[in-house]
Structure 1
Amino acid sequence: MMWQIMWHLWMWMVYLLLLFCDLSYCCGSAEYSINGECCPMCSPGEHVYKHCTEYTVTTCKPCTAGSFMVLPNGLLRCITCTVCDPGLGLKTDRECSPTSDAVCGPLDQHYCTETDHKKGCRLAQRHSICRPGTFIRRNGTTLTNTDCEQCRDKTFSNKSSSPFCKPHTDCQSLGLQEITAGTNTSDSVCATRNDPCSRVAALVPVVLVVVLSPVIGIFI
């Protein structure tokens, strides 16, 4: 009775082994299974042109331009190379080769907002422009945006992408009269204290108010 049990166990083990070999086709690590045959894989940079048969080996062909294959394989086609689209703010940092994909990076004056550890940058945006009234606190890089900061009190910048803010002219220290106060985008306007032009300039707003007030009242 015992030997019958052992026999059945042995038969089940043989059956499972055969089943496993049938499922995996018992191919080696450098082979792939197709149509019940274990065919030699093609090398990186190649793809299968014709599968092997009982009497022939695998026929391989090099990857065509615009495609690649990194690993030994049993595939009929190579993988299409990544295209670095300028519309997404990208440029090609490394060209595609038969054995490696292209690697993308951000265009000049752009920074990467989405990355892939294999394909490099996937999406990039243009660096921010620091407008008048601000200055560049930190220049943008391929990974970070430009950092802009507002001009502090009594300073200004009247151009975009200024590296620093300039202090307002101190009219009093120059012995002059301030006729227009400085803002964060413009300097103070000074004039000599006895300059008739400065007095006229100071009276212009008052005259405009006096003249225009009746007209505005009529329309209201």
Structure 2
Amino acid sequence: MFVLTALVLPVLCGAGLAMDAHSYRRTDPVTGQQLLCDKCPPGTRMRAHCTISRQTECAPCGAGLYTEFWNYIAYCLRCDACSDHQRVVQPCNGTVNTVCECEAGFFWDQHFCRRHSACKPGHGVKAPGTPHRDTVCELCADGHYANIMQTHAACVTHSACKADEQLVLPGSRWHDNVCATCDHPIQKGTSSKK
């Protein structure tokens, strides 16, 4: 059993070259020999492949460039720039790309930042928009309204008239109850004071 394992294991491991996340296999162009080369660490790129006589040569990424993972790529990657209506959450450095997020009032929609939706009259905000999600609106229930002057307001309960007031106009889904006293009658949408 031991002899069989000893014969099969080198074949399964690429003739004895055990590869991990920090290495890669390469055939030496001069000798034709299978080599196990070290990858370059994050923040660097491969300047030259390893050979039978030398390790992999790595070079640091320059300004505005990065590599996030162990690699054997010839060129570092260019850092992303934030687009319209985005702000930098984390600037690019040698090992991490720029992280951008939509500005307040906008959310990411596949390829760009879009302004949060305004709720229609009679609808209030169920969940406010975030940089990753649009505003979620809901129809105001009976006895509730959303102020039509504020397109990002939640539905609230109609106000109750005070003891000395009378209900002049019942509230709807888009406006509150309108109350008045005999001392301050309503004229053209505003109360007149004596």
Asked if TM exceeds 0.5, the reply is: yes
User: What is the distance in 2 between the residues matched to 1:27 and 1:169?
Assistant: 77
Map of 1:162 onto structure 2: 153
Superposition pairs of residues 40-79 of structure 1, within 5 angstroms: 40-79=38-77
User: What is the distance in 1 between the residues matched to 2:174 and 2:107?
Assistant: 28
User: What is the distance in 2 between the residues matched to 1:99 and 1:138?
Assistant: 36
Calculate the TM-score normalised by the size of structure 1.
0.51
2:78 to 56, 77, 80: 80
User: What is the distance in 2 between the residues matched to 1:74 and 1:139?
Assistant: 45
User: What is the distance in 2 between the residues matched to 1:102 and 1:79?
Assistant: 11
1:136 to 125, 133, 142: 125
Map of 1:6 onto structure 2: none
User: What is the distance in 2 between the residues matched to 1:166 and 1:61?
Assistant: 65
User: What is the distance in 2 between the residues matched to 1:52 and 1:158?
Assistant: 69
Per-residue deviation, residues 51-90 of structure 1 (Å, max 9, x unmatched):
344554433210123332233332211233344423xx54
2:89 to 79, 86, 93: 93
Per-residue deviation, residues 113-137 of structure 1 (Å, max 9, x unmatched):
55xxxxxxx6554322234433333
Identity fraction in percent: 23
Structure with the larger helix share: 1
User: What is the distance in 2 between the residues matched to 1:191 and 1:93?
Assistant: 54
Q: Are the structure 2 counterparts of residues 50 and 130 from structure 1 closer, same or farther at C-alpha, using a change threshold of 3 Å?
A: same
Check the 8 A contact 2:45/2:74 in 1, yes or no.
Answer: yes
User: What is the distance in 2 between the residues matched to 1:153 and 1:70?
Assistant: 54
Map of 1:106 onto structure 2: 102
Q: How many residues align?
A: 168
Deviation at 1:48, TM superposition (A): 1.8
User: What is the distance in 2 between the residues matched to 1:132 and 1:143?
Assistant: 24
Q: Are the structure 2 counterparts of residues 167 and 65 from structure 1 closer, same or farther at C-alpha, using a change threshold of 3 Å?
A: same
Check the 8 A contact 1:169/1:188 in 2, yes or no.
Answer: no
User: What is the distance in 1 between the residues matched to 2:104 and 2:43?
Assistant: 32
Q: Which runs of 5+ in 2 are unaligned?
A: 1-6, 189-194
User: What is the distance in 2 between the residues matched to 1:167 and 1:189?
Assistant: 11
Indicate the structure (1 or 2) with the bigger Cα radius of gyration: 1
User: What is the distance in 1 between the residues matched to 2:139 and 2:149?
Assistant: 13
Letter in 1 for 2:98: A
Check the 8 A contact 1:155/1:167 in 2, yes or no.
Answer: yes
